[in-house]
Structure 1
Amino acid sequence: MTPGGRTPDGRPRSPHPCAEREGAAPSVAGLLLAAGGGRRLGGRPKALLPYRGRPLVEHAAGVLRAGGCDPVYVVLGAARDRVRRQARLPGCVQVDNPDWAEGMGGSLRAGLRAVAASGAAAVLVLLVDQPGIGAGAVARVRDACHSPAALVAAAYDGRRGHPVLLGADHWSGVADSAQGDAGARAYLRARASRLTLVECADLSDPADIDTPEDLRRLR
């Protein structure tokens, strides 16, 4: 087995060059999950919710870029054609998830398949519906990555949250376990002793937007 582990579809992965050079920071891609249809919001796709005059997906993708993730992958599903017309996502790789209605797990699998071709040593996962998470939290979690074996998550007063960083060694296992809306939750829970928590409560607010009452957070 190479140090890079295997891709989500089982192929051996070559180690990223940055992981081979002594003292070099591993390359970290960004993965934005933005495919949800907003069922509890009356069918309003979260990617298109207005935030500071632009679609929310633009803000979230910009947070990943500003936090040092490159490249940035954006998984689209519900209303993806409208998202492409209305949102400006320069430099982002847009990934279609035709099975978006299945839940976050399907989007995570689609995103990991796409990222596997990038040669990144790790991927940092962010959800589109958490506008209070900023570039500072992304950078802090990203900086805790030292190898493809890394497993890191932001914490808020000690509780695990997003963003979550998955070293390439974990992608296949995460993809295998990602089902429904659970995402990587079961995988992370089973490896709690190996998970590094990075406190980010001083930088970000992890509250998400799930219900009409939550829309106030966009104001």
Structure 2
Amino acid sequence: MAETSGYGIIILAAGNSSRLGKPKQLLRYQDKTLIRHVTQAAIAAKSTSVTVVTGSNADLIAKELDSLPCHAVYNPDWESGMASSLVTGVQHQMASQPGISGVIFAVSDQPFVTVDLFNALIDRALEGNAGIVASAYENTFGTPVLFSSKYFPALLKLSGTEGAKKLITKFASDVTPVPFPSGGIDIDTQADYQKLLGNS
């Protein structure tokens, strides 16, 4: 049985929230910022380490995470698209923990991500020896998503606006789902944020 200590969590927080007009990572929900919420959930999960990949507004985000036991890693190419942040996170993880079993990618704008969800992804990976464990919502698979280390070479080859979704689709036969009914709720616009606050 593999050790549960073998999975790192990488939080992708480099985007500039162009549609929202301000850093969505720093929006407040239930008395904490979205980035702090997902980072605290990741730290409390059965992960070995938590890495936050920053880009736009890196200083503000690093300051928000100041007191938390996580690594903020700056992606200088963040403007080129999501792939560069995935690559930055995987490279950091491989360098800091060479023998790691896999990583989970999470984003900062899914306000309903929980410790239990992170643990469910890890447990499912350990149980079924699954290569990819993805959150399932609204008839699709998405983040948070776990990739075993055998996918690191494929992740490192992603470029531009490609994201984890490309590999989830390409290796569909190796994907195990974990239900995350509220996974489709993310914050891209002011209207999304107002709706979230109105429902809380």
Counterpart secondary structure, 2:136 = strand
The count of aligned residue pairs is 194
Partner of residue 110 from structure 2, selected from 124, 130, 137: 130
Offset of residue 179 of structure 1: 2.8
Whether 1:154 aligns to 2:132 is no
Partner of 1:64 in structure 2?
Answer: 42
For the residues of structure 2 that align with 1:28 and 1:196, how far apart are their CA atoms? 16
User: Aligned-pair RMSD on alpha carbons?
Assistant: 2.1
Query: Which residue is 1:173 aligned to?
Result: 154
CA distance in 1, matches of 2:29, 2:104: 22
Q: TM-score, normalised by structure 2?
A: 0.87
Runs of 4+, deviation exceeding 6 Å: none
Name the CA distance, whole Å, in 1 between partners of 2:3 and 2:87.
Answer: 28
Q: Is the 8 A contact 1:162 1:206 kept in 2?
A: no
Q: Answer 1 or 2: which has greater helix percent.
A: 2
Partner SS state of residue 38, structure 1: coil
3-state DSSP class of the match of 2:47? coil
Task: Indicate the residue corresponding to 1:36 in structure 2.
Answer: 15
Give the corresponding residue for 2:58: 80
CA drift of 1:148 comes to 8.1
Q: Using the alignment, how far apart are the partners of 2:4 and 2:26 within structure 1?
A: 34
Q: Is this contact kept in 2: 1:27–1:121, CA < 8 A?
A: yes
Structure 2 unmatched ranges of 5 or more: none
| AA partner of residue 44 (structure 2) | A
TM superposition score normalised by structure 1: 0.80
Counterparts of 2:140 and 2:118 in 1: how far apart (Å)? 16
1:206 to 167, 184, 194: 184
Structure 2 distance, partners of 1:214, 1:70, is 33
Does the 8 A contact of 1:158 with 1:199 survive in 2?
A: no
Q: Please give the alpha-carbon distance, in whole angstroms, between the structure 2 residues aligned to 1:34 and 1:101.
A: 12
